[in-house]
Structure 1
Amino acid sequence: MLLHILGSSTLAPARPSPLRQSGAGTGAATVRCASSSSNPSPSSSSSAAAAAGKQVAKVHSYGALDYERRAALRWSSLYRRIAVGHGGRPVGRTLGAWDEGERRLDKWELCRIARELRKFRRFNLALQVYDWMTERRDRFSLSSSDMAIQLDLIAKVRGVSHAEEYFEELPDPLKDKRTYGSLLNVYAQAMMKEKTESTFEQMRKKGFATDTLPFNVLMNFYVDAEEAEKVSILIDEMMERNVAFDVCTYNIWIKSCAAMQDADAMEQVFNQMIRDETVVANWTTYTTLASMHIKLGNSEKAEKSLKEAEKRTTGREKKCFHYLMTLYSHLGKKEEVYRVWNWYKATFPTIHNLGYQEVLSALVRLGDIEGAELLYEEWASKSSSFDPKTMNILLAWYAREGFVTKAEQTLNRFVEKGGNPKPNTWEILGTAYLKDGQSSEALSCLEKATAVASPSKWRPRPTNVESLLANFKEKNDAESADRLMNVLRSRRCEENEEYKSLINTYAFQDT
């Protein structure tokens, strides 16, 4: 689930008595949460639009994205310079040059730029924007909302331990529900159960667990941790303490029912949501329902939910199109994937890398490799940002199917166009070589992956390591084994028990 921890969400006042879930099971699927108000598309019926128009929603926010309303500024030029044209130059230098040579920057512009960078998962660049403001506290007044965003970015870029240090150093007045909520989300995203529960308990004691967001974070954590049965306990607590539900709360509740294989309870929760006049079911609700029905094998209900999601799709939310293509592909509906893709292209003047990644993944899942190759060529001819993730989708299929030559040609063309392969790109090609019995070339790919200057936490897959070690031991190739050990040491794999076991199993005996 994409919980907008630092964004806004719609809250509902009082709740009817919550449902109890029964049954058992494991597994979790993805739930999306967006704003709970929904504007039906022109294809929605007029009566549905009128009904939606009557919904009254009270908007609550932790303030992290609430900027003052003002005339549009030309911040986008600076954003593009940071996101695309900075050429490896530190963001602080770019901001300083603009501030001195172009026009004096204000906080609204900088927060807007950081927000856009976060939207496209450019977390490192966004953090550098906040670091630049932090170094100029005498000029920029940073609130606890800003600190909450910065804490979240630190965790994403530098790791949880650095986020913890940042939180501990905050002045006590800034350790409020916003920064505590951000820390809670950091622990939940890292699947650190003890710290997640402990932080939530601290928020309870300090009176910060009075809003929907911390409950949503903890409930979603339990679903992802395969402890979905605990969601109903938190639902009861929210009822007892009169903590309002929002659309995300219902989506997580639905998700927990599906995780416990309880289709009846899932339908009951959805019906309760429909009766709740303070919450408007939006596309996230119906795509959530669709993904749960797919998980439970109810294809007809899944397709019906996707049609309902389409009625609530607007021209402002690309994610909805992404989920529609993905879910239709899981249903085996190739014609629907193409229909949504054409609708997507007609709606947005520019299709970014993520859009191509979603449709390519959908087509590969459907086995339409010819169509995927055509769209990949379309992307390669238009893109100015050669994201290896896009190319990796086709590359991985070639590797799985044993098309070594095609994999080589695809990667070579990508590099010729100016693309920079990531460590996992080289390993994908290495996997193709392994399937083709070319161990030496596979090892070379792992060495190239290690040489890539990247903050990636990449480690070679244990299955690939095992295949290479077994091959080298069979051939008594100690030199290649030593080269592989250098790869493992460079990525600190020897600290991991799984790799240790492989190394001991296939160790060469001293002679």
Structure 2
Amino acid sequence: MWAVRRASVSLRSQGFSAGTLRACCVQLTPTTIAEDEAGISESHLSSNTLPLKTFYHTGQTFLNIIGDRRELSSQADARAKKEVDDMEYGISEQEISYDNEDIEEQHNDPELSDAKIDSTEKKSRKKKAQSNLFKAITNSQSLSINSTLAKWVEEGKELSRSEISLAMINLRGLRMYGKALQLSEWVEEKQQIEFTESDYVSRLDLIAKVRGVHKAEMYVERIPNSFRGEKVYRTLLANCVSESKVIKAEETFSKMKDLELPLSTFTYNQLLLLYKRTNKKKVAHVISLMEKDKVKPSLFTYKILIDLKGYSKDIAGMEQIVETMKSEGVEPDIQIKLSLAKHYVSAGREKKAEVVLKEMQGENLKENRWLCGYLLSIYADMGKADEVERVWTACESDPRTPECFAAIEAWGKVKNVEKAEAVFEMMMNKWEKLSSRQYAVLLRVYATNNMLMKGKDLIKRMAYSGCRMGPFTWDALVKLYVQAGEVEKADSVLQKAIQKDQLKPMYGTYKVILNQYARRGDIHNTEKIFLRLREAGYVSRISSFHTLLEAYINAKVPAYGIRERMKADNLYPNHATAIRLAQVEAFRRTSVSDLIE
């Protein structure tokens, strides 16, 4: 295994021995070190630190020694044209795992359902069959669907496996996971169909989404042994990863190894996703395990590696991964090309980004209309108002909702607030009722451009229209006040909203306030928000402790017991956090010396 040997050499240069690497590969759980993306500086993600370069220069060696396995799912991109797994209830690659901190926080958000979809928007989407059972469930005003299902049976309507499966797919498509779980439970209780492995897997996934990973883990023990296979455990693993439960994910993976279950590419992709967010140094360990188990990387595996290199500004390494893909006959898909363009822009390689974007668009942008939303965002990041105008012109005559969202954000990024407002007004005229999420898009533009009064007026207009506010609107509103320097007001508004609507704010919303208090050296309020994050159910992250330490540093006060608090949460300092710990400990020494003197 030449690639593994090369990896061990690279790791040794960072203080890892070959024995350490083997230990990490064999048993992940005892070596858990959770690191958050935000707590690691770019300099620590260079190719000298992250041993992925060992695979770039092994040519075909790395990929040829890997066998083939099937994959369940990998990514939460609603536009990604991925395959649907062979489960009848329609759990797709997009559904189970999330590569964004806040994606899982969006489920059952009222802002997703308080606007009517216009006929134009319906036509713009691929036509998907809707079951009559699904329509009956969604038309019911009751929180419980049992009476609806009982009435359905009493009227002698069809309740075949195909009808149930289609209803389940429809419910999942709208993220109505609670009702989907009720349907699954009712079907089993009434013995309408004989449960298969796919049915148990679907139930497990829904329990994890609705009731949490702990309840899902308990459900696994109730699944008959004959159906408790790789699909069950990889679904549990995916949900652990989506909630960034590092130890639980590693325990699940170890359980799969102990049971000698076949490990698919999907399983390893989940670990890569987990460590991409929490501990990038462990990515090399996962790749080594893939080599050992002869598991072939998928397109999404490459996507993760490309993103890791892109985020670290290692453009040469990123391009080498693409070349390795092509040498193996794997062509980058649209999602990978979009990632390449974004990373080029982030690294200041705009000419390379434009080459990729032009290639994707082809000669006629209208033929690749679905790309417009992405293009608007990337060109806006480049500050190219003329390109934003060109792309928006291609869809302005008959715009779709995602394109309007992207256009408003794009015009805001290039500081043309008037055009952002014009798109919003066009939406108001085009559709009968806008959702609060659509208001939130313009609200974020006002926040970015520090236009507090306009933001307040928009909130009043939104309230007058009868829109229900939810986490997305709160996030935009908090950023509006924080940008205007009114962090206390942002804090107060968020608390009132939570008490009124009993909904869970997004992690990023809390983090905006946390960061601002920390910059001020306001220890009391920083600790308060830190506690609220925990109370809201967000697992402790190294980045949150990193910010907490910033508050103590700015206040020039020692943070007593901070290491013990981190250890209690199974977190260990990364390089950047270790530097801050040393800074606050210096304050403690100064305080003691002052007393002695």
Paired residues for 1:113-132 under 5 Å: 113-132=167-186
Name the residue aligned to 2:470: 422
Compute the displacement of 1:182 (Å).
0.7
Of 426, 436, 442, the match for 1:378? 426
**Quick check: 1:357–1:389 contact (8 Å CA) kept in 2?**
no
**Quick check: 2:474–2:494 contact (8 Å CA) kept in 1?**
yes
Name the residue aligned to 1:218: 271
Name the residue aligned to 2:260: 207
Q: Does 1:351 align with 2:400?
A: yes
Letter in 2 for 1:450: I
Of 172, 196, 211, the match for 2:225? 172
Paired residues for 1:357-376 under 5 Å: 357-376=405-424
Name the residue aligned to 1:297: 348
From the superposition, tell whether residues 166 and 387 of structure 1 become closer, same or farther in structure 2 (CA, over 3 Å): farther
Letter in 2 for 1:190: E
Paired residues for 1:274-293 under 5 Å: 274-277=326-329, 279-293=330-344
Unaligned runs of 5+ in 2: 11-46, 52-74, 93-126, 556-597
**Quick check: 2:471–2:505 contact (8 Å CA) kept in 1?**
no
CA distance in 2, matches of 1:434, 1:266: 36
Provide Cα deviations, 1:115-169, integer angstroms capped at 9, x if missing partner: 2343343433433433343433x11233222332332333233222222222233
Name the residue aligned to 1:387: 435
Task: Please report the TM-score for the alignment, with normalisation by the length of structure 2.
Answer: 0.60
Provide Cα deviations, 1:453-503, integer angstroms capped at 9, x if missing partner: 3442568747759999xxxx9xxxxxxx9xxx9xx999957999999999x
Cα-Cα RMSD:
4.9
Name the residue aligned to 1:142: 195
From the superposition, tell whether residues 430 and 185 of structure 1 become closer, same or farther in structure 2 (CA, over 3 Å): closer
Paired residues for 1:31-430 under 5 Å: 34=80, 61=86, 65=90, 75=130, 79=134, 82=137, 85-87=139-141, 89-101=143-155, 103-136=157-190, 138-227=191-280, 229-277=281-329, 279-310=330-361, 321-341=372-392, 343=394, 351-352=400-401, 354-383=402-431, 386-399=434-447, 401-422=449-470, 425=473, 428-429=476-477
**Quick check: 1:151–1:163 contact (8 Å CA) kept in 2?**
yes
Compute the displacement of 1:177 (Å).
1.0
Paired residues for 1:470-485 under 5 Å: none
CA distance in 1, matches of 2:230, 2:298: 18
Count, aligned residues: 443
Percent of pairs with identical residues: 25
Name the residue aligned to 1:54: none
**Quick check: 1:423–1:450 contact (8 Å CA) kept in 2?**
no
**Quick check: 2:90–2:168 contact (8 Å CA) kept in 1?**
no
**Quick check: 1:160–1:187 contact (8 Å CA) kept in 2?**
yes
CA distance in 2, matches of 1:218, 1:420: 37
Letter in 2 for 1:300: K
Provide Cα deviations, 1:303-330, integer angstroms capped at 9, x if missing partner: 2223344459999999755433332322
Provide Cα deviations, 1:322-364, integer angstroms capped at 9, x if missing partner: 4333323222233444544555678xx8834x55433333332
Letter in 2 for 1:123: Y
Task: Please report the TM-score for the alignment, with normalisation by the length of structure 1.
Answer: 0.69
**Quick check: 1:31–1:288 contact (8 Å CA) kept in 2?**
no
CA distance in 2, matches of 1:332, 1:437: 25
From the superposition, tell whether residues 209 and 112 of structure 1 become closer, same or farther in structure 2 (CA, over 3 Å): same
SS of residue matched to 1:104? coil
CA distance in 2, matches of 1:78, 1:288: 39
**Quick check: 2:412–2:420 contact (8 Å CA) kept in 1?**
yes
More moved, 245-254 vs 402-411: 402-411
